[in-house]
Structure 1
C-alpha cells in the first residue's frame, strides 16, 4: 500500500518535470537586444546604413519567433523609450531652431523611421506575436511627426524604408 501511495504521489512530479522538457532548441533574444536604450541610439546613428546593436545584432533579430514574454517586454520597453526619445528630439529641435526642417530633427526622424522599419521587418518574420509592440513603437516614433516639416517627414519615411530593407 505504501509503494502504491508513493508512486501515486511521485508520478505527477515526474510527469511535470518531463512535460517541461523541449527538443533542445533554445530560442533566445540576442543579448545585444537587451542592452540599454543608449546602445540602441548609438547604433541607430548609422542609419540609413545597416544598423547593428553593439556591433553584432540587427534590430530585426531582436524579435525571434518564439521569444519569451519577459524578453518581449524588455525589447518593447527599450524600443518605446528609444522611439519616444527620438520623437522628443524631433519636436525640440524643430521648436528650438524655429525651422521645422532642422538637420538634427531630420537625423532623429531618419533614426526613428529606421527603428520602426527594422522592427516591422522582424515582426513580419515572427508570426505576428510582436504586432502590438511594433504598433506602440510606431506611435511613439510618429508622435508629433505630422507637425514637422516635409523634409523631416521624408527622412522618417526614408529611414523606415531602409529599416525594412536592411534592419
Structure 2
C-alpha cells in the first residue's frame, strides 16, 4: 500500500478508535468520589484517607462495636506496581448483636460484620460510606419481624453516631 493510501485511511481509523473510547472508559472509577445511593450514607470529609481510617477505628470502639475485619486492594496493588487511591472496607460488630440476631434470624447473621467503606478522593480527601443496617437486614424482615427491625434501628443509630464523630471537622 502506498503512503498516500495510508494517509487517507488514518483519519477513518482514528475516528473509529476515538468513537469507542467512551464505551471503554469506566463510568465512575477511582477518578470520581463515591456517589450517594439509596440505602447508603455517604459523607465526603476534609480528612486525608489515613486520618479518616484512624478516626473511624477509634470511634467504632467508643460506640461499643469492634473492628473485626479490614480489607482493601491498595497495598496489594502497590506490591504489584500499581498505584490506586486508598480504599478500605472495615467490618465492625459486637457479639451482643450477633447473639441477638441469631435469636431472631439465623439467615440474617450472614450480613455480619456490617461494614464501613473508606475511599480516597482525587483531591486527597476521603469519603466514609456504609449501607444502613436497616437496608442490610431488610431482606430478612419477613422472617425477623419487629425484633429484627428494632436491632436494625439500633444499629442505624450507632452507625450514624460513628459516622458523625469520624467525619467531624
TM over 0.5: no
- TM-score of the two chains, using structure 1 as the length reference: 0.31
